[in-house]
Structure 1
Amino acid sequence: MNHADSRPVSLLWSVYEHVAMVVGLSSLALVCLSWSPLAIALNPLLPHRIGRWLGRQAIMRGFRLYVGILRTLCACRFDLTEIDQLRDQGAMVIAANHPSLLDAVLITSRLPNAVCFMKADIMDNPLFGSGARMARYVRNDHLLSAILSCRRELDQGAQVVIFPEGTRTVGYPANPVNPLSRSTALIATRAAVPVQTLIVEFSSPYLGKGWPLWRKPRLPLTCRIRVGKRFEAPRDARAFTQELEAYFRAELTPSTPSMASSAA
């Protein structure tokens, strides 16, 4: 993907970029807030299995609506079609690099049985937390408990989505990936499931680490998420983590052929 854009920015286009930023962030807040009260009300009433299914469906469909708004009103171009091939492939850990706040939204908008391995402070956030709890997403503050929770969801056929860096990539795109934690390997080892990689490529570091929410993007914003290598369930967590990090670095270095085109 080409991160450099020498196109002169007109005043009118710059104003549009500011408007698009406000529309995009406001739409995300509206989508989340419209579901949160329902999730709070329904979660204690519904049987576990039905509540879990409904929670994941609501997140997928809500984020798919949000992605449609970004495409239609905010000059965003996303190529997410490769993710669809994973929908019916059963339990696995899906590991992706993490250049932006948007990548989790984009991935879960395509997967109906995804379980995100999330930071605890996001699970406690009033905007996202109630829906995430209803979908039985897993918080990461107690590793052993989190591993057991992920294993339980994987045993029931879910696909655990995890960002092995543990936070957004610092210095993307010059630095393609942060050092990885062992969480991915430990979860996949305990559950004896494969690790499927996703390679996330953005045209800019918009909403990346250190990018303020009020800083406008450079539009058009493009993102491609492609299906990478699938690894068998690891046996050695340390060795696998090193192998996984080396793989992401190789796929994301500037010498990697750039994306030829983006989906409208």
Structure 2
Amino acid sequence: MKYSFLFLNRCWRLLMTGFSFCVFGLGALLLSTFFFNLLNCVIRDDKKRHELTQKSIRYSFKLFLLLTKITGVLDYHISNIEKLSEDDGCLVVANHPNLLDYVLITSVMPKCTCIVKNALLNNFFMKGVIKAAGYIPNNDPEQLLKDCHHCLAKGDMILVFPEGTRTVEGEPFKLQRGAANIAIRSRADIRIVSIFCSEVFLTKNKKWYHVPLRKPVFNIEVGRKLSINSFIHEDAASLAIDVRKLTGYLTGLLDPSAEK
């Protein structure tokens, strides 16, 4: 009897997962094709346009997550959200186990700038969003650092997943040095966000239709803020060492399997 219920519930969640992603895709298409391009034409002030676009993205994600919750696709709990209101000019770093990590975190950030692949600027549907939201393309490493420094200096928040891609099950947890490099070069404090999911769902090796037997429950914890001054030495020769040490420290904080 119990297994029959789980099976039927799984079939329902499979249908609703497909429906939810169709709604998400259609909404993204309409926003990127019409609304965000309209903002680019109508609002000339970059700051106002970026703020309005990021707010629109945040509320769109809230609606999508509400849909997934109501239809039983998943559940989620986010703790210590209020800490994010203290994070002007802060780098927000998180582990990346799941396709929905960006959606979950962005839905509760007061403002959120992201680093995106430079190739997306050639995408008809995405380039308008990137421009309207003030997202930062990762074209040239030095230019990327300058853009991030400028963004953080004016009080914006940048969301980074230092793994560079979703966590791969069974492989060692490893961070790239980009996040540490940005933080140290920009002298920006770091807010730690930890993401856990009760089931294997929407991971690197799982498609949307690989629905687990039980409903996935996400727990997102907004953790402590790291003062970047604790990781910086003033001599230029130590820059690479500082970046390496900070990357190692972040690895210990973000690795889900590490003892905290």
Name the TM-score class by shorter chain: 0.7 to 0.9
Aligned counterpart in structure 2 of residue 29 of structure 1, from 22, 25, 28: 25
Partner residue of 1:188? 183
TM-superposition CA deviations, 1:129-168 (whole Å, max 9, x none): 4323311111224222111111111111111100000000
> What is the 5 A alignment of 1:39-188?
39-46=36-43, 47-121=45-119, 124-126=122-124, 128-171=126-169, 178-188=173-183
TM-superposition CA deviations, 1:171-197 (whole Å, max 9, x none): 1xx55x731111111111122111111
Shift of 1:8: 2.6
Q: Specify the code of the residue in structure 2 equivalent to 1:39.
A: F
Shift of 1:211: 1.4
Shift of 1:239: 1.0
Partner residue of 2:35? 38
Shift of 1:122: 5.1
RMSD: 2.2
Contact 1:59–1:131 (Cα < 8 Å) also in 2: no
Q: Specify the code of the residue in structure 1 equivalent to 2:253.
A: Y
Partner residue of 1:259? none
Within 1, Cα distance between the matches of 2:35 and 2:87? 30
Partner residue of 1:245? 251
Q: How many residues align?
A: 245
Within 2, Cα distance between the matches of 1:225 and 1:231? 18
The structure in which a higher percent of residues are helix is: 2
Partner residue of 2:218? 223
Structure 1: give runs of 5+ residues left out of the alignment: 1-6, 257-264
Structure 2: give runs of 5+ residues left out of the alignment: 233-241
Shift of 1:43: 1.0
> What is the 5 A alignment of 1:196-215?
196-215=191-210
Q: Secondary structure at the match of 1:87?
A: helix
Shift of 1:17: 2.0
Contact 2:17–2:73 (Cα < 8 Å) also in 1: no
Stretches of 4+ moved more than 4 A in 1?
121-129
TM-score (norm 1): 0.84
Residues 1:146 and 1:94: Cα distance change in structure 2 (over 3 Å): same
Partner residue of 1:19? 15
Q: Secondary structure at the match of 1:210?
A: coil
Structure showing greater radius of gyration is: 2
Q: Specify the code of the residue in structure 1 equivalent to 2:157.
A: Q
Within 2, Cα distance between the matches of 1:204 and 1:69? 19
Residues 1:18 and 1:59: Cα distance change in structure 2 (over 3 Å): same
Shift of 1:13: 2.0
